[in-house]
Amino acid sequence: MSFEEIAINVTGLGKRYEIYDRPSDRLKQFILPKIARLLGKNNQRYFREFWALNDVSFQLRKGETLAIIGRNGSGKSTLLQIICGTLNPTNGTVQVHGKVAALLELGSGFNPEFTGRENVYLNASILGLSKVEIDERFQKIESFADIGEFIEQPVKTYSSGMLVRLAFAVIAHVDADILVIDEALAVGDAVFTQKCMRFIRNFQKNGALIFVSHDIAAVQNLCQSALWLKKGLIEQIGATKLIAEAYLQFTLQEIYGDEVRLSSTLSGAAKPEFIDDANNFFEGPPVIVCDIATLDVENNLDAAKGWRTGGAEILAVKLTKLSDGKGTMFVGGERVCLEIKAVARETLKSPILGFLVRDRLGQDLFGENTIPYTSINPIEISAGLTFKGLFEFSLPMLPNGEYAVMVSVADGDYYDNLQHHWLHDALIINVSSSKIRYGLVGIQVEKVQMKVTHD
């Protein structure tokens, strides 16, 4: 990787805090070590060390998007503050090549007594714009924020949604090379969030983006790679899909605690990632699918990744036609049956079988589970028995590419369940096509007309 390609280079980064049990210990630490040094005695520490970050290293290229994930307190915000220059590291270095615009804590950088207009000028000037440049862009910033007359009111009167609108509007108009967003879009409404996402996807074509979120679907949608922080250390770094799957297993293990242990499952060689070209995720032209999209279903159970508890195991998954002949070639729109077969290794009081179809970015397109049936017809499965779930539906038409069918067997209900066996890529659906359509899922249009009404 050449120097010109690097937007951010982080090497051996560490941040240490001193934790004092009593206020008097802080005073002792300030005075007594100095006296000890004068007397030639060994220093005594009156604090405990807490490393919010320790030995964190990574590089971010221009035009690349990196997700940073992890539980609260894992060091995500500390890392972002050091990158943005608002916090100094204890160890290591951060090299930033380009102008950074950041949306960190809600309302950070705003003076609550200033009006929205005054805060726009304050923030934009901090980000390197002159007054003349802000004057030229103010109307666009005001229009993007879309908070009406509140632009002339003190920020302390704003709702959280209005704060994030104004803050994002500023960073969207300062010509930044690097954008840092920390969970800020979670408080926006749907319309504004879509506006922000359009800006982000356009920014991704040339700029470097660091995106922090607990929304794993959004992370997989936006980011090519991910960094998972755990207690200030890098737990894993790599392709977003792989890191997201590992993090999902970790979070479930945290929920289950010591009562159940999840063990990773991977038989055979792992299939390659579904990512074709990470730099062409969001180019914007219509996706290409066929007039009747042709789908080929490939059983991937032996190579599927996931985890298990040992309480139940998925044995087989298959997709078959209910009409229009046999075979593994599907055209979209026909009625099909997805069958999931499993075995109980221990008694399941309220067994659940379910599936989700996901695209190459990990977005959930559609899915179902057996709870609608078992809520009316309760079933208990004894240890050693096999059972299966049958799902009949009309297969939608899908854009070109590969799709993974996630399947799982669990015990419980919608709100409280234990996932005994979870497989991310049990089936792979390959779509080949030739006609333009838009969107993530195609529909069968029965009639298209245009009429002159003479109204």
Q: How many CB atoms lie within 10 A of CB 441?
A: 14
The pLDDT of residue 281? 33
Specify which residues 107 forms β-bridges with: none
Q: Average pLDDT in the 340-349 region?
A: 95
Higher-pLDDT residue of 160 and 409 is 409
* Region for 330 from its dihedrals, namely left if φ exceeds 0, alpha if ψ lies in -120 to 50, beta otherwise: beta
Tokens of 7: 């937007």
**pTM, 2 dp:** 0.76
Tally of CA atoms within 13 A in the half-sphere of 322 that contains its CB: 13
Q: Do domains 3-244 and 260-436 have the same CATH topology?
A: no
Rounded to 5°, angle at Cα 159 from 155 and 160: 100
Q: Cα separation of 267 and 67, whole Å?
A: 28
Given a cut of 90, whether residue 364 has pLDDT beyond it is: no
Model pLDDT, residue 284 = 38
Please report the DSSP string for 365-430 in residue order: EEEEESHHHHTTS---B-TT-EEEEEEEEEPPB--SEEEEEEEEEEEE-SSSEEEEEEEEEEEEEE
pLDDT at residue 186 in the model: 65
> Residue 231: which pLDDT band, with cuts at 50, 70 and 90?
very high
Q: Is residue 20 within 8 Å of 28, Cβ to Cβ? A: no
Decide if pLDDT at 235 tops 90.
yes
The yes-or-no verdict on residue 265 having pLDDT over 80 is no
pLDDT at 438 over 90: no
CA-CA distance, 230 to 235, in Å (whole number)? 6
Instruction: Report yes or no: 139 and 117 within 8 Å, Cβ to Cβ.
Output: no
Contacts for 427 with CB less than 8 Å, ≥ 6 apart? 297, 298, 299, 300, 301, 317, 318, 319, 404, 405, 407
SS3 186: helix
Round to the nearest angstrom and report the end-to-end CA distance of the chain.
Answer: 63
**CA-CA distance, 241 to 16, in Å (whole number)?**
31
Instruction: Name the CATH superfamily, with its identifier, for domain 260-436.
Output: abc- transporter (atp binding component) like domain (2.70.50.60)
Helix (H/G/I), strand (E/B), else coil: 257: helix
pLDDT band at 388 (very low <50, low <70, confident <90, very high): very high
241-249's contacts with Cβ under 8 Å and 24+ in sequence apart are 241/273, 241/274, 241/275, 241/362, 242/273, 243/67, 243/69, 244/69, 244/216, 244/219, 244/220, 244/362, 245/305, 245/306, 245/424, 247/69, 247/216, 248/216, 249/306, 249/307, 249/422
CATH number of 3-244: 3.40.50.300
Q: What percent of the chain has pLDDT over 70?
A: 88
Tell me the one-letter amino acid at 261: R
* Sequence spans of domains, the chain: 3-244, 260-436
Q: How far apart are CA 268 and CA 223, in angstroms?
A: 27
- Kindly tell me if the per-residue pLDDT of 154 is higher than 70: yes
pLDDT surpasses 50 at 92: yes
> Could you tell me the two tokens for 163?
């704060």
- State yes or no: pLDDT of 267 exceeds 50: no
Q: What is the pLDDT of residue 44?
A: 82
Least confident of 13-22, 278-287, 429-438: 278-287
> Which residue type occupies 94?
V
Over the chain, what is the mean pLDDT? 84
Can you tell me the distance from the alpha carbon of 386 to that of 379, in angstroms, rounded to the nearest whole number? Answer: 13
Question: Residue 90 CB: number of other CB atoms within 10 A?
Answer: 15
- Answer yes or no: are the C-beta atoms of 248 and 220 closer than 8 Å: no
Paired tokens of 222 = 């936006």
Q: Amino acid identity of 93?
A: T
Distance CA 280, CA 18 (A): 45
Bridge partners of 228? 69, 236
